[in-house]
Amino acid sequence: MPDLDQSPPSSPPPSSLPPAPERRRRASWLPSLVWLIPIVAAVVGLSLLIRTLTERGPEITVSFRTAEGLTPGKTAVRYKDVDIGLVKSVRLAPDRSHVIAKIDLTQDAASFSAKDTRFWVVRPRFATSGISGLETLLSGAYIGVDAGKSDERVRNFTGLEAPPAVTTDASGKQFLLRAADLGSLDIGSPVYYRRVQVGRVVAYQLEPNGRDLSLRVFVNKPYDGLVTPDTRFWHASGVDIKLDAGGFKLNTQSLVTVLLGGVAFQAPDDSKASAAANENTQFLLASDQTEAMKEPEELAPSLAVLNFDQSVRGLSPGAPVDFRGVVVGQVRSIGIEYLSEKKAFRLPVVVELYPSRMGFRQRDLEDANRARGIVQTLIKRGMRAQLRTGNLLTGQLYVALDFFPKAPPAKVNPEGPIPELATTPAAFDELQAKLGEIVSKIDKVPFEQIGQDLRTSMATLNTMMSSADKLVSQLNGDVAPQVTAALQDARKTLNAANGTLASDAPLQQDTRRMMQELTRTAVSLRTLTDYLERHPEALVRGKTEKQ
């Protein structure tokens, strides 16, 4: 086999062979098409990454009670129906009391990390204020946002369990109401002015003392200018029914307030205040319109105690104290007290009296001795407190102050912690007591002894009647024939008298002639007496011829 390496190479002619080494050198510098696709993908990914990083906003966390309606990667964060973020993840808190949602906000939503920003989950809700979130039945739940105005930025938020009643961008004013009872009010309950809805209840809380409530109401602009320092607020819940001398009256704000409750406000007709009240001004929330529109008392109310020995069933706190048709106070409380020295109970009723309604002045009450003397004088004149029926249908009672001139003297304790006023039993109770006395007297009547005596008398009477029957029978047998004979003789005598007294009987004719003679005799005597009256001398001389 020949050695090819040692033989001289044959070289082709220069004109027929290309310069091969130079072409290979040029091809090694050109990129391969295989690497072009990854490079383009890397450039696109890098551009998307840069765009994402440049458009990405702050990352925040919001804690909710539950994760209902939250889906990582799907649940959006919206403000005025514009997406400003997306829920990235949802995890359970270490103490398992709540869930934490991590949210990525967009770059243009960086201002929503303000400290006072509020978040809540928008889902279908059925509350007393209405139905909301029905649009999420098809689109799914999302997180709603109420933008804050604080300059401080934070990363962690606590979400609301219900949508806020008033958002930050709403125009109007908030006012604080003090109340003793929440009634049927709730967050979102309407606020009315002359039956026009102008706001709503936004919050309420119980005061630390446990006796009072504070409510916040929001009045929309421009109606917030109607709230003045003299404005009165009251519960507009339910139906206000009155039955008085004017007839039957029904008062309510709207059908919504009947079912859900509400608040109404209005200034008195004689109010002179025109400037609008400042925001967060405090007002008292009255139980009804009548209570709210009462004129303020000139003098502070005074307390008095009324000790009753009768039942106070039907009397309740808040019942009026009436003086001849004018309400001068109300009942504050009703108690019970045991009197060990009398071995009996009495019912003390504490009432609140308004001196200005009774015509008292400030000077009458400045001196305690003078005020006590006025009360003692009124009690001596017969002023008493009495329980009376205010409504026959419900049996409700009220306290009536009046003068009873015939009332017995009363002993009261004016030196006690609360001044005492004299009382008198109610008219019905007096009647009941008198009826009780009558019944007790009737109980003392010996009806059994009277019955026995009556039975004995009846037996005696029966014996007497039997004897009378025997006597009548005897009279019928013995006396009756003799009586019949006597009656026959009497009839004969009457017939004879009738014959004698008949008009044609001789006795009657003789009697008639005798009467005629007597008449003529009487005429002659009258003529003689007349003549003697004219000529008395005739008794001596006689009758002359001339005469």
pLDDT, tens digit, for every residue of 173-193?
Answer: 999 999 988 888 888 888 999
pLDDT of residue 378: 83
Predicted model pTM? 0.53
CA distance 163 to 133: 10
Triad 163, 165, 171: Cα angle to 5°: 130
Q: What mean pLDDT do residues 108-125 have? A: 88
Residue 281 pLDDT greater than 90, yes or no: yes
Q: Are 262 and 182 in contact (CB under 8 A)?
A: no
Closest CA to 204 of 187, 192, 189: 187
pLDDT of residue 2: 42
CA distance 545 to 530: 18
Q: Domain ranges in the chain?
A: 50-158, 172-292, 302-441, 506-541
pLDDT of residue 244: 45
> Which tokens in the block code for residue 121?
């989950």
pLDDT tens digits, 17-52: 455 555 555 555 455 666 777 787 888 877 776 766
Q: Which of 458-462, 506-510, 522-526 has the lowest mean pLDDT?
A: 506-510
Q: What mean pLDDT do residues 473-492 have? A: 71
Reported confidence tier of residue 5, pLDDT bands at 50, 70, 90: very low
pLDDT of residue 364: 66
Residue 117 pLDDT greater than 90, yes or no: yes
pLDDT of residue 198: 93
Average pLDDT, the chain: 79
Closest CA to 336 of 352, 349, 320, 351: 349
> Which tokens in the block code for residue 15?
């004109």
Residue 547 pLDDT greater than 60, yes or no: no
Helices (H), 280-426: 289-292, 362-366, 368-380
Q: Phi, psi (5° rounding) for residue 67?
A: -100, 25
Torsion angle, CA of 189/192/197/201, rounded to 10 degrees?
-30
Reported confidence tier of residue 169, pLDDT bands at 50, 70, 90: confident
For 234, the 3-state DSSP assignment is strand
pLDDT tens digits, 211-235: 788 999 999 999 999 999 999 999 8
443-469 burial code (b ≥16 CB/10 A, e <16): eeeeeeeeeeeeeeeeeeeeeeeeeee
Q: Are 388 and 398 in contact (CB under 8 A)?
A: yes
Q: What mean pLDDT do residues 100-107 have? A: 90
Q: What mean pLDDT do residues 321-325 have? A: 88
Q: Are 261 and 235 in contact (CB under 8 A)?
A: yes
Residue 119 pLDDT greater than 90, yes or no: yes
Q: Are 84 and 112 in contact (CB under 8 A)?
A: yes
pLDDT of residue 429: 61
Residue 56, CA distances (Å) to 48, 101, 151 in order? 12, 17, 20
pLDDT of residue 93: 92
Reported confidence tier of residue 203, pLDDT bands at 50, 70, 90: confident
Q: Which of 344-358, 375-389, 488-502 has the lowest mean pLDDT?
A: 488-502
Residue 238 pLDDT greater than 80, yes or no: no
pLDDT tens digits, 60-94: 999 999 998 899 999 999 998 899 999 999 999 99
Reported confidence tier of residue 455, pLDDT bands at 50, 70, 90: confident
Name residue 174's amino acid: Q
pLDDT tens digits, 518-540: 888 888 878 878 777 787 777 67
Q: What mean pLDDT do residues 128-139 have? A: 64
Q: What mean pLDDT do residues 143-168 have? A: 88
pLDDT tens digits, 250-277: 555 555 555 567 899 999 888 888 889 9
Better-predicted residue by pLDDT, 403 or 491 = 403
